[in-house]
């Protein structure tokens, strides 16, 4: 319909995208063969059939297993370039891409290899398509804070070489029982170093985790944050401070955070004046990139054109791009 056409062409910024979560089954299969890595699947169809998640952990198990095919700089380049192509097709103009070094260093892949492959693709996309991007290094919260400190230490020598891209740190993986405050020291260090800060909070975890992400970690955006609705005082604070929430509707549906998209609180939070954005999270696993997330939300929640434009604008506004760049978009 024309509503869908309007969405497809609407310029967008994506602020919550795990590059490892953009690994499509076809590329996973091809890289497994190229690298002689054995996958627990006989075919691409079998991979897709396995994507029936009950919660965040049931997804993370397959996400980490799938990432095992990523070994070389070329693999990370191919992965990132495949995402860029999908983003360009969805009228995405800017991405702040999450990556998880610990998922790779644990398998003997160096931090340098990960940076180099992702950065080569993003720089080429900038050159060839004017595609704007940055990289946000995420710590895995199911691991220790010492491990996160070590991860930051291994990446810091690369900071200058990737100064045009790497501008933030984040926190992802299994949320429940791994509260933000577990990472207070490494976030304080990153803050002193001048990095932008974000954290997943209130996806499966309680509103208290959103509070501690804000008050202890001092993050500038909340990734997901959908459980904020259980805490009216927190909702007021998020509205008043215009703290951005990077909401991922199809992710929430696939991970059973909501039973049906029509029950999603994205529209309620937007209408309550919060700075809500729409993002794809792990598009290869959750059934869609940016346009699919916008269209599914618009259809399920009756989003008006004015609201769709607001959601897209919020993405640019909440980005870490330079003010001059934001002016050109907004």
Classify burial at 209, counting beta carbons within 10 Å of its beta carbon; exposed 0-12, middle 13-18, buried 19 or more: buried
203 contact choice in ligand ADE, Zn ion, none (CB below 5 to 8 Å, kind-dependent): ligand ADE
Place of tokens 């309007």: 6
Q: Shortest Cβ distance from residue 29 to Zn ion (Å)? A: 24
Cβ closer to ligand ADE: 31 or 56?
56
Q: Shortest Cβ distance from residue 291 to Zn ion (Å)? A: 18
Q: Is 18 annotated as a binding residue?
A: yes
Cβ closer to Zn ion: 73 or 282?
282
In a 3-state reduction of DSSP, which class is residue 135? strand
Q: Shortest Cβ distance from residue 60 to Zn ion (Å)? A: 10
Total interface residues for Zn ion by CB under 5 A: 1
Other CB atoms within 10 Å distance of the CB of residue 43: 11
Cβ closer to ligand ADE: 93 or 141?
141
Q: Is 200 annotated as a binding residue?
A: yes
Tokens representing 70 are 């990523």
Q: Is 16 annotated as a binding residue?
A: yes
Q: Give the integer Cα–Cα distance in Å for 52 and 252.
A: 13
Task: Give the distance, in angstroms, between the CA of residue 326 and the centroid of all CA atoms in the same chain.
Answer: 20
Cβ closer to ligand ADE: 99 or 307?
99
173 contact choice in Zn ion, ligand ADE, none (CB below 5 to 8 Å, kind-dependent): ligand ADE
203 is catalytic: yes
- The answer for residues whose C-beta is within 8 angstroms of residue 272's C-beta and 6 or more apart is 235, 239
How crowded is the C-beta side of 306, counted as CA atoms within 13 Å? 2
- Report if residue 24 touches Zn ion, rule: CB under 5 A: no
Q: Shortest Cβ distance from residue 204 to Zn ion (Å)? A: 11
Q: Contacting Zn ion (CB under 5 A), which of 24, 75, 96, 281?
A: 281
Place of tokens 């291994």: 154
Q: Give the integer Cα–Cα distance in Å for 167 and 174.
A: 24
- How far CA 242 is from CA of 35, 66, 274, in Å, comes to 46, 36, 6
Classify burial at 49, counting beta carbons within 10 Å of its beta carbon; exposed 0-12, middle 13-18, buried 19 or more: exposed
Q: Is 215 annotated as a binding residue?
A: no
Q: Shortest Cβ distance from residue 251 to ligand ADE (Å)? A: 5
Site of interaction with ligand ADE (CB under 6 A):
18, 21, 56, 63, 172-173, 200, 203, 251, 281-282
Cβ closer to ligand ADE: 173 or 291?
173
98, 138 Cβ separation under 8 angstroms: yes
Identified catalytic residue from 73, 96, 203, 307:
203
Q: Is 142 annotated as a binding residue?
A: no
Binding residues for substrate, as ranges, are 282
Footprint of Zn ion (CB under 5 A): 281
Binding residues, as ranges, are 16, 18, 200, 281-282
Catalytic residues: 203
């Amino acid at each position: 319909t024309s509503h869908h056409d309007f969405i497809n062409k609407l310029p967008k910024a994506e602020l919550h995208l795990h590059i490892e979560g953009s690994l499509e089954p076809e590329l996973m299969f091809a890289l497994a063969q190229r690298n002689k890595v054995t996958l627990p699947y006989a075919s691409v169809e079998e991979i897709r059939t396995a994507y029936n998640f009950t919660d965040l952990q049931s997804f993370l198990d397959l996400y980490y297993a799938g990432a095992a095919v990523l070994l070389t700089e070329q693999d990370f380049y191919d992965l990132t370039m495949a995402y860029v192509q999908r983003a360009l097709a969805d009228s995405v103009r800017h991405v702040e891409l999450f990556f998880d070094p610990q998922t790779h260093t644990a398998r003997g892949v160096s931090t340098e290899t990960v940076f180099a492959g992702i950065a080569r693709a993003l720089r080429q996309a900038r050159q060839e398509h004017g595609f704007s991007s940055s990289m946000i290094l995420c710590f895995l919260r199911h691991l220790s804070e010492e491990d996160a400190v070590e991860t930051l230490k291994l990446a810091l020598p690369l900071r200058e070489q990737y100064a045009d891209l790497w501008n933030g740190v984040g926190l992802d993986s299994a949320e429940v029982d791994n509260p933000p405050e577990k990472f207070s020291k490494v976030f304080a260090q990153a803050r002193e170093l001048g990095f932008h800060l974000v954290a997943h909070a209130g996806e499966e975890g309680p509103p208290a985790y959103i509070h501690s992400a804000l008050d202890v970690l001092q993050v500038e955006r909340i990734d997901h944050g959908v459980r904020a609705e259980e805490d009216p005082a927190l909702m007021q604070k998020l509205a008043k401070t215009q703290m951005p929430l990077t909401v991922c509707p199809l992710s929430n549906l696939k991970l059973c955070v909501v039973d049906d998209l029509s029950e999603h609180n994205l529209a309620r939070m937007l209408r309550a004046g919060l700075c809500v954005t729409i993002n794809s999270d792990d598009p290869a696993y959750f059934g869609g990139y940016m346009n699919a997330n916008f269209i599914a939300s618009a259809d399920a929640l009756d989003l008006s054109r004015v609201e769709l434009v607001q959601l897209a604008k919020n993405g640019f506004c909440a980005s870490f791009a330079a003010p001059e760049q934001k002016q050109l978009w907004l």
